[in-house]
Amino acid sequence: MTQIKSKTDWKKEVYAYILLIVGSALFAAGDVMFVNPYMMAPGGTYGLSNVFSTLWGGKISIWAICMDVPLLIIGTWILGPKFGVKTIISTFLIFGFTFVIESWLWGYNPVIHDGPIVAAPIEGLSMVQTHDGMWFVPDYFLNTVVAGLIYGVAIGMIFRSGATSGGSDIISMILHKYTKISLGTLVTIVDGCITLSTLIAFGDIRLPIYSIIIIFIEGKVIDLVVDGMKSYKTMFIVTDQMDTVRDYIINDLHRGGTYLQGKGLYQGNERNMIYVTLERPDMVKLRAKLHELDPQAFVNVVDSSEILGQGFKALPKE
C-alpha cells in the first residue's frame, strides 16, 4: 500500500512540474510575443518590465529578474518563508524562457498585426514601433483577447502545479501586513498602478484599458484551468415532502445531502430543509422534478465556486 501511494505521489509531482514548465514557457511567450509589442502592462513585474524595456531598452527578462529576486528576498525576510520551492523555480523558469524568446527565438515583433511590418511608418496610419525599429498597424482587440487567453492558461497551470505568482504580489503582502487593508484590494491597487504606468509612459489611453481587459480575461481563464469546466449549484429546499424529495435525490440523481430542521419566522412552524450541492445538469433535473414532488416547496439556488470533500474535489493536503 505504501509503495502504491509513493508511486502515485511521484506521478503527481512529475505532472506538477510538467505544468510548471509548460505554464512558465507559455507566460514568457505571451509576454514577449503579444503583450510587449503592443506596449501593454497587465500588472506584475513583467508588466512593469515591458514599460521599462520599451522606454529605456534592455531585455524584459533582465528588468524582471532584477525586481523578482530582491522581492523574494525582502518578502522572505519580512513575511517569513511563505514562498515554496516551486515559486522560486517558476521565477527562474519564466526568466529563462523570456530571455531565450526575446534574444534568439523571436525578438519583439508582434504576432498579430494588421498589414505587413515595414521599416518606416506609412503616412496617415497609426503605427507602433517595435524594439527592432520596425513599424506595424496594431490590431489591439484581437491581440488583447489572445494575450488574455495565453496569460490565463499559463498562470492557471502554474497555480495548479502548486506555485504562486510571487512578483508584485509580494509588495501587496508586505503592505497588507502593515496596513491591514485586504490583500485583494492591495493587489488591485498595485497592479492598477502598473497598468496605469503605460498611460504615463506612452500617453495612450487605450493601453491601460486593453491591459485591464487582459487582466479580466486572464482571471476567467485561470478559474477554468484551476477549477475545471464543471459548474456547481447549492440548493436549499424547504419542503413538507421530505421523504419523496430525499428518495429522488438519492435514487435518481445518486447524490447525498444534509437534512436540516428549522422554524418559519412568520408562524413559527417546524419546517424541514434539504441542503444539497449538485452539478448544473442535476440541479436542472431536480428543480423541474420539484414541481411534481412538492409544488409548495421553497427553493434557493446559489452558485458554488469551489466544493471540497467526498464526491467532489479532494481536500488539499496543505
Q: What domains can you pick out in the chain, each with its CATH number?
A: 2-227 (no CATH), 232-304 (3.30.70.120)
313 CB-side CA count, 13 A? 15
Q: Which pLDDT value is given to residue 91?
A: 94
Q: Which pLDDT value is given to residue 33?
A: 96
Residue with cell 444539497: 276
Q: Which pLDDT value is given to residue 180?
A: 78
Q: Which three cell numbers stand for residue 132?
A: 527592432
Residue of 208, 187, 183 lying closest to 197 (CA atoms): 208
Report the chain (318 residues): mean pLDDT per 10 consecutive residues: 59 92 97 96 95 95 96 89 85 96 94 85 79 87 97 92 82 86 82 94 94 94 80 89 93 90 81 89 90 92 77 64
Q: Quick one: which H or E segment has residue 180?
A: none
Cα separation, 221 vs 130, whole angstroms: 28
Q: Which pLDDT value is given to residue 314?
A: 67
| End-to-end CA gap in the chain | 22
Cα separation, 25 vs 129, whole angstroms: 25
22 CB-side CA count, 13 A? 13
